[in-house]
Structure 1
Amino acid sequence: MTSTAFETDTPDPIAYLDRVAATDLGRSYKQRMLEELDVRPGGTVLDLGCGPGTDLGALAGAVGPAGRVIGVDHDRAAVDTATARTAGQAAVEVRLGDLHDLPLPDGAADRARTDRVLQHVADPGRALAEIRRVLRPGGRLVTGEPDWGTLTVDHPDGDLSQAYTRYVTEQAVHNARIGSRLPRLASEAGFAVSAVLPITPVFRDVRTADLVLGLERCTRRAVAAGYFTEDGAARWLNHLESGPFFAAVTFYVVVAER
């Protein structure tokens, strides 16, 4: 089931986040999110689920020397990495914390962002309500999430394509449809949703797609979960490697006001 076209070993989480951020896609959507955040010099910005600090430097540049950037993540290794990477930036502070119970007082920030985080949390609605709590009146949240139900990986056997997407949405990602549900969840948390911006990356090269999607690893897990037979998985991967490749998934950037 393996091939040189696919990455078979699960990458280190921090290395994976760095890799995605360095792609053209990563740079493009992150820049769009920064523009929508509309950070003002001297303001306080929260990067919730900041990971290894990928975006903290850009946020620090936006708030300037009089501003403040607070990164929060639940993973100690990510917090330690982000802290080390931003050690020379006085405006940046990184804290260990849970999005469901943020280590911040009410009205602590002017802006907040999450980036591909809410798809993994236990309770997105509760996390959004907690984010609203720590924003000041008039504050803004920009959150970006994929809707994995929109994932399309082309294959001559449409049943295999559907099985793959069903595995991703039903098993692989905790809140797989979060992208299209964000506007409703943000409204229910008390935000006023001012914009919903769909971004649909298209992959035409299987190796590039695999670095983001982990096609072979995901297929192997789908076999174990009963979504593919061994024969079906072999046919699936063989075509992805040798045939014309196409995959796409829609990512939603939601802008919400406190």
Structure 2
Amino acid sequence: MTSDTRLLCEPADHEAEAPGTPASPLSEVGQTLRTGAGRPSVSWPDMADHCVPHAFSDLDAHSDPSRLVTTLNRLSDDPFFASYKQRLHELLRARPGRRILDAGAGTGEAALRLAGASGAAVTACDLSAVMCREMRRNGLPRVAVADAHHLPFRDRVFDGVLADRVLQHVNDPGKAVTELLRVTRPGGRIVVCDPDTGTQALALEDEDLAEKVLSLRRTKNIRNGTFARTVPGLFADHGLEDIHAEARTLLIRDPESVDGTMGIRDWAGAFADRGYLGRAEADRFNALLDKAIGNDRFLYAVTYFLTAATVPGNPGGSTL
């Protein structure tokens, strides 16, 4: 952990490892943070047995985390994701001399772009030690392994906070938003984005089967699949100002995205493994998927909501 990052953290919350202590996944990225009163900075998500865990809900527990790193790198090059990420950065209003937190930063690629384009000092954090190592590898200077529910930073230390495709996965998105606001200065910006799985559309010959799979994705796969639509109201409840929301729809017809970017072909099989679909239904889903692709009839769409607001009060300005 760099000295810049330590300055942002609670002063009594950094604990050095004892001499001879084996390196932990946290220490490999420079983190032995605690968020106060013995509360660890990392709290791996508890996914109920009745759910089909989404890979990004607990990335470090995935059998092949490198595959997920590759997925995020692929997404960063996709025109849709690059475009809306650029818009998120505009909504942050970052500029030189400002401190920005990218919570759930993944590989850190977007944080690097934001820092380079705006001149702001960007701190990136993620629940995943794997992702934090990737951020370090990519050259991010300020990285912290951290749980969005218990951020290891002082109150009102950032001029802007960003959470992109994060709140859909956390245990308690409302609590995570409260934490993001806690570390944001008066006059600072909060910007969040998530897809709303309630807006999904999938064109298959068997519409009932398509809807069944999409319904399972809404209710069993993504923890907070429709949370994105509630964010403007949540921001209003917190008394935020200048609340602004936008919608961007991802539309996929490219067959490569079925297996690559979105992994649609894996959905039905995962639900069958948990008993939510019969194996014959899962096989039929994939057969119809292939048929739709072969006949140039395949279509998948989902809408992302981008929401931004300003924390009320007089900005004090950052001292870097």
What is the TM-score when the length of structure 1 is the normalising length? Answer: 0.88
Matches within 5 A, 1:72-151: 72-86=125-139, 92-151=141-200
Matches within 5 A, 1:39-58: 39-58=94-113
| Identity, % of aligned positions | 32
Q: 8 Å contact 1:150–1:250 — kept in the other structure?
A: yes
Match for residue 194 of structure 1?
Answer: 243
Cα distance between partner residues in 2 of 1:187 and 1:73: 26
Consecutive unaligned residues of structure 1, counting only runs of 5 or more, are: 1-8
Q: Which deviates more, 230-239 or 167-176?
A: 230-239
Shift of residue 207, structure 1, vs aligned partner: 2.3
Partner deviation per Cα, 1:172-193 (whole Å, 9 max, x = no partner): 1111112212222333344335
Match for residue 4 of structure 1?
Answer: none
Cα distance between partner residues in 1 of 2:127 and 2:174: 18
Q: 1:69 aligns with which of 122, 131, 138?
A: 122
Shift of residue 229, structure 1, vs aligned partner: 2.5
Cα distance between partner residues in 2 of 1:231 and 1:76: 38
Match for residue 317 of structure 2?
Answer: none
- Larger fraction in strand: 1
Cα distance between partner residues in 2 of 1:170 and 1:26: 24
Cα distance between partner residues in 2 of 1:68 and 1:24: 26
Match for residue 49 of structure 2?
Answer: none
Q: Any idea what SS the aligned residue of 2:154 has?
A: coil
Match for residue 290 of structure 2?
Answer: 241
Cα distance between partner residues in 2 of 1:69 and 1:78: 16
Q: Does 1:153 align with 2:202?
A: yes
Q: Any idea what SS the aligned residue of 1:231 has?
A: helix
Q: Any idea what SS the aligned residue of 1:122 has?
A: coil
Match for residue 264 of structure 2?
Answer: 215
Cα distance between partner residues in 1 of 2:235 and 2:275: 35
Q: 8 Å contact 1:183–1:193 — kept in the other structure?
A: no
Q: 8 Å contact 1:155–1:161 — kept in the other structure?
A: yes
Partner deviation per Cα, 1:10-54 (whole Å, 9 max, x = no partner): 772212111111111221111111122121221111101111212
Cα distance between partner residues in 2 of 1:23 and 1:238: 27
Matches within 5 A, 1:216-231: 216-231=265-280
Q: 1:183 aligns with which of 232, 235, 258?
A: 232
Q: Any idea what SS the aligned residue of 2:268 has?
A: helix
Q: Does 1:23 align with 2:72?
A: no
Amino acid of the structure 2 residue aligned with 1:76: A
Cα distance between partner residues in 2 of 1:153 and 1:227: 19
Q: Does 1:166 align with 2:212?
A: no
Alignment RMSD? 1.8
Partner deviation per Cα, 1:56-93 (whole Å, 9 max, x = no partner): 211212342xx411111111111111022115xxxx41
Larger radius of gyration: 2
Match for residue 308 of structure 2?
Answer: 255
Q: Which deviates more, 34-43 or 182-191?
A: 182-191
Q: Any idea what SS the aligned residue of 2:142 has?
A: strand
Distance 1:180 1:60, change over 3 A: same
Cα distance between partner residues in 2 of 1:55 and 1:18: 10
